[in-house]
Structure 1
Amino acid sequence: MAMNIERDLHMATGDGQTSYTRNSRIQEKAFFQIKPILEKATRDVYTALLPRTMIVADLGCSSGPNTLCFISEVIGTIARYCKEVGLPHDHPQLQFFLNDLPSNDFNNLFKLVERFNKLTARNHQGEAPPPCYISGLPGSYYTRLFPRQSVHLFHSLFCLQWRSHAPEGVKGTRKTHQDKGDIYITKTTSPTLVKLFQQQFQRDIALFLKLRYEELVFGGHIILTCIGRKHEDVLRGESNHHLYGLLAQSLQSLVDEGLLKKEKLDSFYLPVYSPSIGEVVAIVEKSGMFNMNHIKLFETDWDPESHAVHDSVSSGVNVARCIRAVMEPLIASYFGETILDRLFKEYAHRVAKHLEKEKTKHAVIVLSMKKRCYMKTGTYSSNSFTESLQRAMIYGIRKRKLPL
């Protein structure tokens, strides 16, 4: 069966042992790292624009608890700010949209939202939090999702390494002898294939930025966190080369055992690309649509439980669970469900052997940006005077208690 991104690209469903809900600790640890950046962006948006209804979107929310951590952080930031300025009960209304592809397990997500609402109400019995409304929004973030200039804050965690589809140009073509068995870029990948991956990334991100620019209010912010790479040289040995290379080796072992057809593996590519900071900056600057407030790279262990685990075998199992929670639906759709247990057992073994030799980490890029104001001359400017005047007018209207 051919790969269909909208149908096949979603995290493992439900809340069982192999589900994303139970195996998203890597994402949780990354979110903890970006919390100060999120808090600053939230405060900046709110204090600059003072919206009575603040529209916030989590793109690629998936079906686990991390999107609720994001919601909680935004609510807490607004509540703290209102208390600091002496308006503890003058909260804006917060409308959250949780976006992912239609195949996402929204049913499981809504169950978590119900628990979250009850917990929030219990934790704020003495002091009411900002009114909060949460909705699901199925659809690809490589399409328009919102009305023009309607969103104040966008957030996306561990999603933009995913492409809209496998690299253009590889569909219907055969891998060279050099590329046989590759499902992503490795040290030996042919320059032609590397270029196809890079070009697909550039097209997708340019489109993503254009769409989000149209949907953001002027002065709105966007925070993007994705799996990246440390070095500008894409062929240099990096975390994801090893991570996906070991998965390719595990699939090849099933071919050797006669459990998979060689032709099937040779036609399979992961629709991912891990960019460098330089690549991200180049695309943002070329777009001319955003001012970058903050960009940095940090690292996190492959094994999210590495602090409590002291042997490579256990770490191999942990890493395999995390990757299975992400890759299982894609692999099951393309190769069939019957190979899953055997595949990820082999993968855990190969990861353990790799970790015995080196303790590899994920490289994570976080980027915070603000939408630029468009000038009639055709140039872009942050136009701080106009923004300050707009803020003063909005604040004056609110003080007079007139509707916006």
Structure 2
Amino acid sequence: MDPEKVFHMTGGVGVTSYARNSSLQKKASDMVRHITTDTIQELFIKTTPKSIGVADLGCSSGPNTLTIIKDIVEAVEGSSHKILHPPPEFRVYLNDLPTNDFNSIFKALPEFYRELRQEKSGGSCIPSIFIGGYAGSFYGRLFPNNCLHFVYSSYSLHWLSRVPPALYDEKGGSINKGHVYISESSPPQVSQAYYKQFQEDFTLFLRSRSEELIVGGRMVLIFLGRRGPDHVDRGNCFFWELLSQSFAELIAKGEVEEEKLDSYDVHFYAPSKNEIEDEVRKEGSFGLDRLEMFQIESNNEDQKDDHAGKIISYGAEVARTVRAIQESMICHHFGEGILDHLFEHYGRLVDEEMGIEKIEPITFVIVLRKL
């Protein structure tokens, strides 16, 4: 299964869409907004370009991407006023895989521009913002040489370009039976295969962006990770283990064939701080200006609104978030008939485990500078 042809966040604005189930991702970007805006303000003051190229890699669909673009525009304009320099025009490149719902973003652009005009009603000039969609994998070149000043990517780089091929033997059988990701019972070759794929992908990402960014250009990258060297922890890895358990429940009820699960693995990897630093150093095109680990606080109280006036549990919210991300891949492999039951089980398991002990997924934000 080729993720580039299949993988995408659930489009549209329906109940299970990414647009309506990406609040956890927005919390993360909001928590580090000051890092994003400080970085691009520093870049603008040092370079003062007449035209500034900004790319959002893995933009997906929904309101989050245009919110961060608005923050970036306002940050640069604020800096231009402080140093009495004319604000630049903005060239905004929105990137995701070809299957992404770009139409939802384009449909939201009139409202985006209208809000900017309203905020400038006091007489200030409306900034020139040119926004386009650029379909393709960021594990490779996307843009011309030296056309970008700033790259932003939120909750995308933990997705690998493919499921590591070393997970399968010569006959195509999985060596990680019964699990969709690294688990306590996985043989050592599983974590080794995932780590090797991360190394290849992240190096290619850095090399590609080094060609597209100007010297001194910046990147702010936000993605899921893990605390230390152990691949199995009660964080991002544990959420995948609960999904494996949810599949197991459907197998026990005869709703999913065991062989189907054995041939399904996620193209995901949560790197450690040391692994990130090692790849940046080895690739050599960027200086690491900042690397911080943070965590979105969670609890197991029923307090989340589901856009319909109802209160849902934390587990149900997580289940909707994961479904909006994984639905395309699961439907392709298992069929869409299992989705409701699968994520009902999943949400319940998350709530049960949170009642025993907190699940604590961590996120990294890193700031890179093109050397």
What TM-score comes out, normalization by structure 1 length? Answer: 0.86
The question of whether the paired residues in 2 share the 8 Å contact of 1:18 and 1:324 is answered with yes
Indicate conservation of the 8 Å contact 1:295/1:365, yes or no: yes
Q: Are positions 1:320 and 2:315 aligned together?
A: no
Q: Distance in 1 between matches of 2:209 and 2:146?
A: 9
Give 4+ residue runs of structure 1 displaced > 4 Å after superposition. Answer: none
2:164 equivalent in structure 1: 167
Q: Which residue of 1 aligns with 2:55?
A: 57
Residues 169-207 of structure 1, C-alpha deviations (whole Å, 9 max, x = no match): 22453234xx32111011221101110011000000011
State the Cα distance separating 1:260 from its structure 2 match: 1.2
- State the Cα distance separating 1:344 from its structure 2 match: 0.7
C-alpha contact (below 8 Å) 1:313/1:349 kept by paired residues: no
Aligned residues of 2:301 and 2:313 also touching (Cα < 8 A) = no
* Mapped pair 1:202 → 2:199: yes
State how 1:81-160 maps to structure 2 within 5 Å.
81-87=79-85, 90-126=86-122, 127-160=124-157
**Closer, same or farther in 2 for the Cα pair 1:231/1:238, shift >3 Å?**
farther
- Is 1:4 matched with 2:2? yes
Note if 1:350 corresponds to 2:349: yes
Secondary structure (helix, strand or coil) at the match of 1:300 reads coil
State the alpha-carbon separation in 2 of the partners of residues 336 and 307 from structure 1. Answer: 31
**Partner in structure 1 of residue 248 of structure 2:** 252
Query: What is the aligned counterpart of 2:228 among 226, 231, 238?
Result: 231
Check the 8 A contact 1:230/1:238 in 2, yes or no.
no
Query: Does the Cα contact within 8 Å between 1:75 and 1:129 map onto a contact in 2?
Result: no
Q: Indicate the SS of the match to 2:288.
A: strand
Structure 2 portions without partners, runs of 5+: 306-310
Q: What is the identity percentage for the equivalent residue pairs of Structure 1 and Structure 2? A: 35
- Is the 8 Å Cα contact of residues 295 and 363 (structure 2) preserved in structure 1? yes
CA distance in 2, matches of 1:67, 1:307: 28
Instruction: Please state how far the C-alpha of 1:114 moved relative to its aligned partner.
Output: 2.3
CA separation in 2, counterparts of 1:313 and 1:140?
35
Matches within 5 A, 1:267-282: 267-282=263-278
* Cα offset, 1:301, TM superposition: 3.6
Change (3 A) 1:306 1:138: farther
Maintained 8 Å contact 1:169/1:196: yes
Counterpart-to-counterpart distance in 2, 1:228 and 1:15: 29
Change (3 A) 1:291 1:186: same
Post-superposition offset of 1:307 = 9.2
In 2, the alpha carbon distance for the partners of 1:292 and 1:80 equals 26
CA shift digits 1:110-164 (9 cap, x unpaired): 1122221111111211122421111111110012101111110001000000000
The separation in 2 between residues aligned to 1:21 and 1:369, in whole angstroms, is 28
Find 2:218's aligned residue among 211, 218, 221.
Answer: 221
Amino acid at match of 1:121: R
Give yes or no for contact 2:302–2:313 (8 Å, CA) kept in 1.
Answer: no
CA distance in 2, matches of 1:35, 1:197: 30
> Contact 1:250–1:347 (CA<8 Å) still a contact in 2?
yes
Paired residue type of 2:252:
D
1:168 Cα shift? 2.1
Aligned position for 1:378: none
**Is the contact made by 2:6 and 2:328 (CA closer than 8 Å) also made in structure 1?**
yes
Q: Which residue of 2 aligns with 1:261?
A: 257
SS in 2 for 1:192: helix
Partner Cα distance (1:116, 1:361) in 2: 35
Q: Does the 8 A contact of 1:10 with 1:326 survive in 2?
A: yes
Q: 2 CA distance for matches of 1:289 and 1:65? A: 32
How far apart are 1:309 and its partner, in Å?
5.4
Question: 2:69 aligns to what SS in structure 1?
Answer: helix
1:294 is matched with: 290
Residues 57 and 151 of structure 2 are in contact (CA less than 8 Å); yes or no, is this contact kept in structure 1?
Answer: yes
CA–CA distance in 1 between the matches of 2:275 and 2:301? 30
Residue number in structure 2 paired with 1:46:
44
Of the candidates 22, 26, 29, which is equivalent to residue 28 of structure 1? 26
Contact 2:303 2:313 survives alignment (8 Å): no
Q: Identify if the C-alpha distance between structure 1 residues 14 and 221 changes in structure 2 by more than 3 Å, giving closer, same or farther.
A: same
Per the TM alignment, residue 73 of structure 1 is displaced from its structure 2 partner at its CA by: 0.9
Shift of 1:35: 1.1
Q: Verify the 8 A CA contact 2:246 2:346 in the aligned structure 1.
A: yes
In structure 1, C-alpha distance between the alignment counterparts of 2:231 and 2:347, rounded to whole Å: 26
Whichever residue aligns with residue 39 of structure 1, its letter is: T
User: Deviation of residue 238 (structure 1)?
Assistant: 2.9
Larger radius of gyration: 1
The number of residues matched between the two structures is 363
Sort the Cα spacing of 1:306 and 1:211 in 2 relative to 1 into closer, same or farther, 3 A: farther
Q: What letter matches 1:85 in structure 2?
A: I
Alignment check: 8 A CA contact 1:299 1:362 kept: yes
Counterpart code for 2:278: A
| In 2, Cα distance between equivalents of 1:109 and 1:66 | 10
Give SS of 1:361's match: coil
* 2:370 aligned residue: 371
Cα distance, 1:212 vs structure 2: 0.4
Partner of residue 332, structure 1: 331
Shift of 1:302: 5.4
C-alpha RMSD of the superposition: 1.8
